[in-house]
Amino acid sequence: MQVIRAASAPGPAGPPPVPPRPAAPGGAPQQPQQPPQPYAGQHPGGPAAPQPPHPGASAPPPPQPPHGAQPPHPGAPVPPPGQQAPHPGPAWGSGMPRDTTGHIPLPPGGPVAMPAPPAVEFGTGNATLAVLLIGPAGAGKTTVARHWARSRRVPTAHISLDDVREWVCSGFADPQKGWNENSEAQYRLARRTCGFAARNFLANGISCILDDAVFPDRPVVGLGGWKRHVGPGLLPVVLLPGLEIVLERNAERSGNRRLSDEEVASIHGRMAGWYGSGLPIIDNSKYDVETTARVLDEVLARSIASPPSW
């Protein structure tokens, strides 16, 4: 049988409608077959449109991210097809220690314990230790401490309390202008900062030597605070040359580090109270810096073998 198609009036482009086919003998009329519609956004001649799933078939599972990768955050940019998304760095709480610097874990700084005796005949050798060098103004403690730190075979840091205290620029409470509650508060803060730094150096295998003018007759600026902030393994050594040497060295200073002769004599007299305290004392009146540093190393080796009671 021949199918007659009706002429369509001019209109929008598209396939003409198809009339229903005549019914087969004894059967129901068949529905016309509709021509395939182009996919939305697809121009003629493009790739084929996706076919709907078969009725009753389960939908395919969504693509899973690679092993170990995290699903993208809602609202995050999606990389174009064929390009791999950048791997995100580890986030805090995902297994990385919180106390890190550039992905290098830092051990926490705890109280410094007494180091083990070095396996050498003389000196501290490769021992990791914390030292407190005590002395009056002009004793040379800062110069000797820096030289000793630089001459060791193992990493060693030097921290001067006077330097840390002068970190305060505006509002610096100069103790030379009078010891009051402000100068005492800034001293305590500097001492605590030095102790915190020393603990962190020691926790990372770096020895540390600190220097301060600790008075034996003033608990506020005494050894108790240093032992509390650094730890029981701190090794104190007193550097105490004669008064003439101290006056001569103080005269070579400038700025707020230079004291009057009366102040130097008073401080030196009070430092003499360390005699009989049980702490090791070095009289470096006739020693140069290198010799004093060598004697200091030998004294520290004896202190490690037989710690002083303080």
Q: How far apart are CA 90 and CA 213, in angstroms?
A: 47
For residue range 53-73, what is the model confidence (pLDDT) as tens digits?
555 555 556 556 555 555 555
Q: How far apart are CA 238 and CA 134, in angstroms?
A: 5
Strand ranges (E), the chain: 100-101, 104-105, 130-134, 156-160, 207-212, 235-239, 281-282
Provide, rounded to the nearest whole percent, the portion of the chain with pLDDT above 90: 43
pTM of the model: 0.62
Split at pLDDT 50, 70, 90, the class of 198 is very high
For residue range 102-112, what is the model confidence (pLDDT) as tens digits?
455 656 666 76
Split at pLDDT 50, 70, 90, the class of 148 is very high
Q: Which domains does the chain have, with CATH numbers?
A: 133-305 (3.40.50.300)
**DSSP labels, 67-85:** TTPPPPPTTPPPPPTT-PP
